[in-house]
A = this chain, B = another copy of it.
Amino acid sequence: MMSAPDPVTLFIGRLASFGPLSVRDRKMLEDLPIKSRSIDAGDLVVRDGDATDDCAVITGGFAIGYKTTSMGNRQIVGLSIPGETSGLHSLFLTVADVSVQALVRSTFAILPRAAFRCLSMTNAAIGHATAVSISAESAIARAWLVNIGRKDARANMAHFLCELMVRLERQGLADRSRFELLLTQDQMGDALGMTAVHINRTLQGLRAAGLIEKDGRFIDIKRWGDLCDIGGFTHRHLSSFHEAEFPIPMVTSTT
């Protein structure tokens, strides 16, 4: 009887999507003492400023990475989606530079930082895949910079929804044009650099324009092409890093 792949296998598979890993490489990763950890909704896996000996990569659920300003404001700087490997940059940090919070009950692979770092310093294939993974994450951050810095609320949000759609879909977490938006409007505000109130109004604007529909927490993108146009979205910053073997992203009508 075949069971679902365990978190470690999942993680290794995802890392391999960034660069070829031989059977031997995979074995070395498997031999690391990787623990799996379950986190309740709302709880933190990583706390900004904490010294830590490990590096958490999500394997199930949904999480956000954020930073807090001295004035108590919060900025979400990344999303953790199972199947992706965000968080690997903390491999090289002895002190966490973001907090990671689970938004629903989630599971994480807890990698021993020192051992993994050591592996990436001695095993070229693993180091390379790690570098590409970090690179992919940073491409998303750069796209967010443009969204937050130079787009109005509508475009910012459109881009965000498009990006989330593609990222969820290629992990099998979205159904054609429909996905569950696990962030509250408050949290979306923290991601897009705006207030919850304005998120609400912008979302309604998109709905009124017939671009999306909402039912419960689910978002249904009705006019993908137009939403991409409004947001200036292309999936280039999401798909350029992966080997061909990676799941095919949804068909996009623009760019």
Contact = CB atoms under 8 A, between A and B. Distances in A.
Given A77-B146, A135-B89, A145-B141, A97 B240 contact: yes
A143 B142 CA distance: 11
Interface stretch (A6-14, A56-64, A116-124, A168-176): A116-124
A206 interface: no
A237 interface: yes
Most buried by B among A19, A67, A236: A67
B69 A138 contact: no
A130 B121 CA distance: 11
Interface stretch (A32-40, A148-156, A180-188): A148-156
Interface of A: 19, 67, 69-71, 73-75, 77-78, 89, 91-95, 97-98, 120-125, 127-128, 130-132, 134-139, 141-146, 148-151, 155, 190, 192-193, 229, 232, 236-237, 240-241
A183 B98 CA distance: 29
A131 B139 contact: no
A140 to B, nearest CB: 9
A150 B189 CA distance: 10
Contacts of A144: 145
A145 B77 contact: yes
A91 B139 CA distance: 12
A244 to B, nearest CB: 13
B132 A92 contact: yes
A193 B125 contact: no
A142 B77 contact: yes
- Ranked nearest first, the 4 interchain pairs of A and B with the lowest CB-CB distance are A149-B193, A138-B138, A131-B131, A127-B127
Contacts of A236: 95, 97
Contact of A138 (B73, B125, B132, B137): B137
A75 B124 contact: no
